[in-house]
Amino acid sequence: MRSDTVTKPTPEMRRAMYEAEVGDDVYGEDPTINRLQELAAELTGKEAALLVTSGTMGNQVAVMAQTQKGDEVILEADAHMFYYEVGGLACLSGVQTRTVSAPHGILTAENIRAMLRNPNDIHNPRTALICLENTHNRAGGTCYPVNVLAEIKEMAQQSGVPVHVDGARIFNASVALGVPVRVLAGYCDTMMFCLAKGLGAPVGSMLVGSKAFIDRARKCRKMLGGGMRQAGIIAAAGIFALTSMVGRLAEDHAHARMLGEACLEMGWGIDLSTVQTNIVVFDVMPFNVSAAAVQKLLAEEGVKVSQFGEFRLRMVTHYGITRQDIDYTIAALNRVAKKLRQDSKR
Ligand SMILES: *Cc1c(COP(=O)(O)O)cnc(C)c1O
């Protein structure tokens, strides 16, 4: 339950990898990578796409290709790009961040407008990029409502600031909302999404946007050491992921919902309105213990979860986690809750 990054490739995916036609991609000659990039561009309604080694590389390259040193980038305060990318924005692009906390991690056009810099004031850095996270990981897998995206797009266009979406789990948002990825991507200029999470590929993320953007991004990727050779083996898994693994995400969402509802019933602290996709973030405060203590008790039951703060834990459902595993996890959470209640009575 730690993360959907632990998924392993399916047997069919491995077969597709074995049989992949390959070439040198730095020369643009890997037919399988070219096919994956065409597929990603088509699915998102963008001109072009680029295979990158990880979601982090995709996000960092997107910033690098669209900013200059000293620019400002707007982010939600718990955004992966700010929180979990090793300070890459400062280190690789030399940009500074402007963050604001938003309920459920979902920024609004109003939030963002308040953070835009007036370009006519000599003191101000240039606001170069707006970054949204869909679904929002630390907020518990929450989705941007389509009307919010539309308002942000309109405001951003008026201000002349491009919008990048960290769409590591954009297919989860698409399945949960019943809205095609192409529609969600239509509200941003550039987007990154992961092949290696719920979609089950062993490696890889995609960056999509205009042809001019992808040309710049390809150069940035090369600079970071991400120019790959016969990586069609990886791309074949990505094609399989995009064509065969999207539909089943609904099952992960149903599993997360079951876990979330069970957590609420047992008295763990949880806001069920955040359980929209495959992530369940819950609070251990009601039991007066630390997240680390509960993590350890669950590990003893054979259930691995992630620590998400001093009193918060995260569970993620994904390919490879069955209905039986969910039932087992609920039983384990129940046993731990009972034990903690008894301990506190003593
Ligand atoms: C996982 C994730 C990424 C990228 O992670 P990598 O491990 O670098 O592939 C980016 N953004 C979000 C929201 C994520 O959850």
Q: What is the DSSP string of 112-180?
A: HHHH---TTSTTPPPEEEEEEESSBTTTTSB---HHHHHHHHHHHHHHT--EEEE-TTHHHHHHHHT--
Instruction: Kindly state the tokens that stand for 53.
Output: 């080694």
d(CA 203, CA 52): 9
> Based on the domain organization, do 22 and 84 belong to the same domain?
yes
At residue 281, φ and ψ (nearest 5 deg) are: -105, 125
* Residue 153 resides in a domain: yes
> Based on the domain organization, do 313 and 240 belong to the same domain?
no
> Based on the domain organization, do 178 and 312 belong to the same domain?
no
- What is the domain extent for residue 283? 249-335
- Supply angle C-alpha 60, 79, 252, rounded to 5: 100
At residue 24, φ and ψ (nearest 5 deg) are: -90, 110
d(CA 51, CA 61): 11
Q: Which residue lies with its CA nearest to atom 14 of ligand 1? A: 168
167 lines ligand 1 (CB under 6 A): no
> Based on the domain organization, do 65 and 114 belong to the same domain?
yes
The residue whose CB lies within 8 Å of the most ligand 1 atoms, and thus the one to mutate among 80, 107, 138, 314, is 80
Provide the residue-wise pLDDT of the chain in tens; the chain has 346 residues.
999 999 999 999 999 999 999 999 999 999 999 999 999 999 999 999 999 999 999 999 999 999 999 999 999 999 999 999 999 999 999 999 999 999 999 999 999 999 999 999 999 999 999 999 999 999 999 999 999 999 999 999 999 999 999 999 999 999 999 999 999 999 999 999 999 999 999 999 999 999 999 999 999 999 999 999 999 999 999 999 999 999 999 999 999 999 999 999 999 999 999 999 999 999 999 999 999 999 999 999 999 999 999 999 999 999 999 999 999 999 999 999 999 999 988 7
> Based on the domain organization, do 256 and 206 belong to the same domain?
no
Q: Dihedral sign, CA of 113, 104, 168, 72?
A: positive
Q: From 197, 225, 244, give the residue that closes a domain.
A: 244
- CATH classification of the domain holding 310: 3.90.1150.10
Nearest to 245 by CA among 169, 192, 311, 306: 169
Q: Dihedral sign, CA of 45, 47, 52, 57?
A: negative
* Residue 345 resides in a domain: no
Q: From 244, 259, 283, give the residue that closes a domain.
A: 244
The residue whose CB lies within 8 Å of the most ligand 1 atoms, and thus the one to mutate among 3, 51, 84, is 84
* Residue 181 resides in a domain: yes
Which of left, alpha, beta for 322 (phi over 0: left; psi -120 to 50: alpha)?
beta
166 lines ligand 1 (CB under 6 A): yes
CB atoms within 10 A of CB 14: 15
Q: Is the pTM for the entire model greater than 0.95?
A: yes
